[in-house]
Amino acid sequence: MKFLLSIIFVLSLTTTNVANAVCSNEDTFDGKASIEYPKSGNVFKKAKATPEMKENTKINAKSKILDAYVNKCLDDRSKVEQYLREKNKIDSQLDKFVTVVRVKEKDNQEKRIYSVKMRGSVNSKIFDTLLYGPGKVKGKGKGKTRMVALFVARKAMGTDSKIYDDKVTKITKAETGVAGEKSVSSDGTTTAVNKQTTAVAKVQKGGSKVKKTRASKREWSIMPSSDLNKNILGVFSKSGYRGMSYKIFAKYCGSTPTNEVEEEFSVSDTLSEDTEFAIFTAVDEAERKRCKIKLFATGTMNVNTALPDKVNGGYSALVSVRADVKMFSEDDLPETVASIGPIQIRANGAEDNEAERNALDKAGKTAAQEIINTLRSAGIN
């Protein structure tokens, strides 16, 4: 059965300042392990670690190198969960992707403890292949699963924020005491006379302050993204899928035109209910066989406007990626089968526009690969 995966991504340039660990095959990690061995049966001969004990301890140390890599470099929850599911299988193949660059052994015969310290690197491509499997990579032509992609890049042009002056309410309470006087008449009677006086006045002041603000409104500008989409489709193609741009799919299969989708994303972070319903209806009612879609993914990419890099020089831009994947079936509503991110990717450039372009390119490829990895881990190819 042929399936078509349609992917709509929004790339929005904002002022996100979240950093993320990015690892390479050149990064090294430490691992150490030890074992306590039994006493020697010969009182005249000291005990020592056997070759088998040493080998098992080295395997444990190499496993700790992988643990250090996982803790630092696997920041996507779905990827960590997949590793935990496949841990025994992956740990049994450490020699395929862990390269040891330094080994330090010590056999303390007095305490009967053999210990190993290692430093090594992890080949992430081989690790990912073992983690998710090679996938069902097919030859050219009709056997491949179709994947449709639309990445919409947008950049923040300005932000409208409104803050009101504090609203202050004051309450003042004044009390004036009443003083009494006595007068004595000639016949011996007394008369009490009340007179108002300010000498015993009491004043209390209080009140409240209320601050009122309005949520910021952001204006966006759509950016050209043809090169970005070509690179993303290239990742899908190398993974055994048949890529197609959303523009071609929309025109050929009667879905919402690309310019209408871009226009909505220029004023909002999500598609409107009407547009989303129109796309899902086009999938459900498609008469052409090649327009029948099994999987549909939507996502957002928020990329900050490039800022000067005070450490390395030039400029630096950061992108945050989120995506959801829905699966269609003939007798049910669309079901969410994967949620990706947020994943953060940073890129540099000599100029600000180069840094932003590099960030978009790198983030697009990373998002495409994460989609493929997540689908494979769920057994969806």
> Domain spans of the chain?
4-20+138-160+217-377, 28-122, 165-211
Cβ pair 96, 130 in contact under 8 A: yes
pLDDT, block means (10 residues), the chain with 381 residues:
53 42 80 90 81 92 93 79 86 92 92 93 88 58 68 67 56 50 49 47 54 56 76 79 79 86 77 83 76 76 83 88 78 80 87 89 85 79 69
Q: List CB contacts of 29: < 8 A, sequence separation 6 or more.
A: 65, 68, 69, 72, 119, 120, 121, 122
- CA–CA gap between residue 64 and residue 100 (Å, rounded): 12
- CA–CA gap between residue 330 and residue 334 (Å, rounded): 9
18-60 residue pLDDT tens: 434 567 778 899 999 999 998 887 777 788 889 999 999 999 9
- CA–CA gap between residue 145 and residue 282 (Å, rounded): 19
Cβ pair 366, 318 in contact under 8 A: no
Q: Can you name the residues that pair with 103 across neighbouring β-strands?
A: 118
The alpha carbon of residue 277 and the mean position of all alpha carbons in its chain are separated, in whole angstroms, by: 27
In one letter, which amino acid is 289? K
pLDDT of residue 170: 59
226-263 residue pLDDT tens: 777 788 788 877 777 777 788 888 888 888 888 888 88
pLDDT of residue 84: 87
Q: List CB contacts of 277: < 8 A, sequence separation 6 or more.
A: none
pTM of the predicted protein model: 0.59
pLDDT of residue 156: 67
**Which token pair is 161?**
């924020």
* H or E stretch covering 226: helix 226-238
pLDDT of residue 12: 47
